[in-house]
Structure 1
């Protein structure tokens, strides 16, 4: 018996099906988007909304669910399009049967996002209709055409991004300000594209740099600004140490401009990274009025570089965090292992609580790595400085006179600035000779071998003079810095003749570091000796009291005379005028 097969022709489309039920009316959701907030684009946005409203109203088999539209957002990242996300959620909830949009580029400019959402909606029998391409995702035979067209849309984005990036680089190369809004201390005028000093905020910038140069860390400066009630550029009252470091690193405060600090990896993810040499940067000197001098800025950078040196070397266990939270932070040096001291709190939460400073090597690695160091009471170190300062003040005339004599002898021996002036004249003369030599060669007045020989001789001489000039400039700057430090030291001494108690400001103004202990005599190591090294190079040493040592018995100094300060927690005082630090 032969089989008979009757073919029943298809009469509907899958797009007519809604959640397994047949329907003659489609619930339609138009989607519109513009990528910028310019007047032209916003007019286009309004036109799209009006167009789709009219389009749906003319179709009897369509019913409008809602118009979903995003203004001034990119099409490369779906997460930033709130209305797009709302539309997709409504589709998943079964409220929409078909999405209508102008083109693939309006739906998404990312190939992966286009395919992801088309497939997701297709599983729910929800169609996406692209008008310009005339593609209905439920009736198309395959995804090949969609992939090709969405890839073209993505390539268009990448081409636009490359052209924009090229244009921005050309502006930077001309010295134009690109992408700057404002920063603390400066105001930005969008009309003239110029920046000007904000007098009120500039005082905060000068304060930050001055405190940092004086030895403060970012943590302490941030705390001081918070307590003083100063506000950040964003209006926040609480300051962070990262904000302080951002100010210190910002070259704008010395009047220069560095552009290209960050770059966009690609226009799809829009991920930005710090520029570590992957893209060109553009540095403009004397771009605008500075808030701090170049000398202060460079000094701050030198301090910043020194404090971060260990971290850059990648040494484990030696993170050189220089917060200066406490007066003696990063100021105490162990004489035995040459590491810093850290602050610890003994008997915390009890009436016997006290702050003690201990060698980092001893506390972190173990006593066997620095067996001779001892913990010192913070109060003992403070009292020792008061005694050291009294000694300096009572004899400061002789000490300063001695230092001035040494400084004058050093300056008279070096004369870096005078030699530098002479060197500049010699360099200028050699450059003129080199230019004349080139002219002679171009005019064919000398032969090529002679030219090359003479040019090599001049170039070698010029290179030697330039190297000498670099060294002399450094020496001249060191002489200037030393002179300024000496003058500052004298000023502090005259202003603060005596200290009734420990004063952190005075301490940080004149002391460079304190060396704890001495290993001069291997048989008699002294862990309680404190050597104060002042910023001028002057030093004096104080013998701290050991725990359990009685201070009632008058002690004699090294000369056999009674010590005038034996009634305090510090005893023997010895004055050592050290070599001036250049």
Structure 2
């Protein structure tokens, strides 16, 4: 007698805040459709993974998708089904990467609306084609939005946020382009003019930032001024009545490397803050100073960005002093100094400099001690496991509190629905209240997903002494045998932060190991035979770390 094998299926649903507001996409509608489909095909729904109010641009912040991928590694289901393939990812390359992870664990991917699944060659082909079409559609929409922004800019209207000195209000004009208006904020104007006047008088970026911070002035975001903030203000032509657009393209991905080739610079409809004469003088000085050679520090700084200032906790950066001895010989001393002090001045923090050689020696010795002295490493591993177990109760308590808030919000939604059904509340008020409740509910549900993911990692098997010793030994060997660039790469991959005490001595070194760092960098100690120039030594298959874990030495 033959028994039918019931397919184990999980449902994934996602909607971003913008999609829900603009297109009316509904998580509940997606779930209802997929549940009914599974019931009709007699598939067993093992779980549902729902990311609410989250963009599909990347996996970051999508805790339910992360949980799904972890469950896939444990083969908890046979198929993932979505309403549309773009619920899983917006970019074709991300979609294919996720599907590849599923296929490695013999899990197929099915789209209900597009009617395909990846267990067959034709299904995989359809996925690739539809993914490419979906990305083309998304890019076309983005281009159309950018076209509208470019047209607004050419007409002298501002796009996006405004800098210090301005704010946006509802426009008085009847045209579509003039629906918002940029006006001056008087209390901020004085700061902007002061910055321009001080720079025109010959003061540097750090001097101006330091002076403003001592006076308690803040940027548009309410933060202390930095050299970068001052520079961006001085380079913004909006203050002289101009609109500049398309200076950078794809800022979120390329940052300043995405320099635009078709920069728009036209007269704007907003009032200027600085005079043309002052602007021209400042730009002349900016151009002259920009042509000066940059300061260059001799030597190799291994720990930049990793050492934390003992006073404010900011990352410390490279610095040096040059003095002359009694016989006239030049003496260069290299340090790590507080990055906030170097950028924002003494109003925010102090230099708190620590000698480069001493800091790097202390860190490498601390790592070596953990390898060569078993008692130290044993205490470290014991501390890691105790800390992991100690985190569980607070996480569970917070999860209970979050679930209570979710239940309360669901109850409120039910009551408003009852009031609406008996005509005790008008449609507009009901819609407004429901929108606010759904927004709060999405926040709490996302928080619950993150807590469940954190709890899952913390309840994993205890970290073994042998595993930590093996990782530390290989890390230490690489640090002693690799050239500088590889050592710096390793440091930034594995060291989370280095803390100094109040006497500016290395207090603790926080390390983080995960599957990728172990697989690609700590699989084998270096040797002359396999050491290719510019490459990390690697051969054979590394053991697999299932979870990220951190240790402090």
User: What is the TM-score when the length of structure 1 is the normalising length?
Assistant: 0.46
| Higher RCO (Cα < 8 Å, 6 or more apart) | 2
User: What is the TM-score when the length of structure 2 is the normalising length?
Assistant: 0.48
**Which one has the bigger helix percentage?**
2
Structure number with bigger Rg: 1
